Structure 1
Amino acid sequence: MAMKTWWLYVTAVFLIAATPGPNMLHVMVQSIQQGARRTTASMAGLMTANLTCLIASAAGLGALLKASPMLFEVLRYVGVGYLVWLGIKAWRAPVSSGDGAIEPHARRSIRALYLTGLGTGLSNPKLILFATALLPQFIDTGRPFGTQLAILTGSFMVIELFWFSVYALGGRSLSHWLAPANRKLLFNRVSGTLFFGFGAALLGSKV
């Protein structure tokens, strides 16, 4: 892989990762509800999903999905359903009424945080489209495949981790602003609507 190709890839990934999507929204919500430190478990689940999708793409999943429209449709609808479920959860998340304080969120286990992050990552339309359609374009078939995959995957993971940290810290700061119940309710409705939107985007996506 030529250096200019790598720089093009890094720039594209940096901009794509910075754009708010299901993964970044999930990190911010978990940071607000569970705290920045415990959000690392959710981040680990998301990173596992990233790595899984990138390796699967390299193993030929992208070509398989293109060759089997039915399989792609099944995976797409599963992802849509999961994102809609996250949106419903956000809309129905309770807040207290009367004293203006946020109703405390249950302390979730590390395992639950990890698995929710994993599910969110695997249903992320941006990740699916990137892994199946964009990543293969940066592979030079005339050079060692394994080395290129390691560089591209490693670069992607570092950039994603950077933006996860930014959104987690942003959620920690935002939690103070969300102290009044009416603001918390508004945030729940907005984040829920965004998850619905991501589900609609995945439903209408074509690879």
Structure 2
Amino acid sequence: MAIETWLAFFVACWVISLSPGAGAIASMSSGLNYGFARGYWTALGLQLGLLLQIAVVAAGVGALLATSALAFNLIKWFGVLYLLYLAWRQWHAQPVAMEQEVSLRPLGQPLVLVFRGFLVNVSNPKAVVFMLAVLPQFLDLTHPMLPQYAVMALTMIVVDLIVMAGYTGLAAKVLRLLRSPRQQKIMNRAFAGLFAGAASLLMLVRRAGA
């Protein structure tokens, strides 16, 4: 991959990662609920989902989602239901005394947060179709594909880790300002609304050409 092509892809990665979406909401929610050190595990799960999506595109399976309405809709509605589940959990999250360790909040175990982040990313079929449309534009067809996909995957993951660190850290800073149960309840319900909004947007997604 030529350096000029990589730089263009690098800029595109920042634009994609900074665009608010379900991943950003999940990172902020984890930062709010568990603090930065614990909440950042969600971002690692997001990257595992992203890596799987890139592998799917590299293997050509992404074309199936672009052409099969059934496959596309199965994954889409799984994503909708999972985001609604996260909205429900956030809505019913109980306020916690700031003197308590944030890591003691329920569902704050690292592997649980990693799996949560993984599901958020992997259950978005539009992301696979989007990458299927975008990634090939940066490929040099005269060179082996696998090393180029590896470079793009590494670039996307590093950029997204930085961006999600910002989202998680910002929410964790907000956590320190939430002293009263009422403030925490308002924030939890605001994030529940964001998850529900992300689910609503995913409901509206249609397969290209459908």
Fold-level similarity (TM above 0.5) = yes
Runs of at least 5 residues in structure 1 that lack an aligned partner in the other structure: none
Q: Which runs of 4+ in 1 moved over 6 A?
A: 99-104
- Counterpart residue number, 2:187: 187
- Counterpart residue number, 1:92: 92
- Counterpart residue number, 2:172: 172
- Counterpart residue number, 2:79: 79
Whether 1:151 aligns to 2:151 is yes
- Contact 1:30 1:42 (C-alpha < 8 Å) held by counterparts: yes
- Counterpart residue number, 2:35: 35
- Counterpart residue number, 1:4: 4
Aligned-partner residue type, residue 179 of structure 1: R
Cα distance in 2, alignment partners of residues 178 and 122 from structure 1: 32
Q: What per-residue deviation string (whole Å, max 9, x for no partner) do you get for residues 72-112 of structure 1?
A: 1111111111111111111222237xx99999733632221
Runs of at least 5 residues in structure 2 that lack an aligned partner in the other structure: none
> Which one is further off, 36-45 or 70-79?
36-45
- Counterpart residue number, 2:60: 60
Whether 1:69 aligns to 2:69 is yes
Distance 1:128 1:146, change over 3 A: closer
Distance 1:107 1:61, change over 3 A: closer
> Which one is further off, 112-121 or 151-160?
112-121
Q: What per-residue deviation string (whole Å, max 9, x for no partner) do you get for residues 99-153 of structure 1?
A: 9999973363222122112112212466344333322332232322012111111
> Which one is further off, 2-11 or 127-136?
127-136
Offset of residue 55 of structure 1: 0.8
Whether 1:142 aligns to 2:147 is no
Q: Given the two structures, how large is their TM-score scaled by the length of structure 1?
A: 0.87
Offset of residue 8 of structure 1: 2.0
Q: What per-residue deviation string (whole Å, max 9, x for no partner) do you get for residues 160-187 of structure 1?
A: 0111211222122110122222222221
- Counterpart residue number, 1:14: 14
Alignment partner of 2:9: what SS?
Answer: helix
Distance 1:159 1:47, change over 3 A: same
Equivalenced residues, count: 205
Alignment partner of 2:142: what SS?
Answer: coil
- Contact 1:48 1:118 (C-alpha < 8 Å) held by counterparts: yes
Distance 1:154 1:171, change over 3 A: same
Cα distance in 2, alignment partners of residues 195 and 85 from structure 1: 9
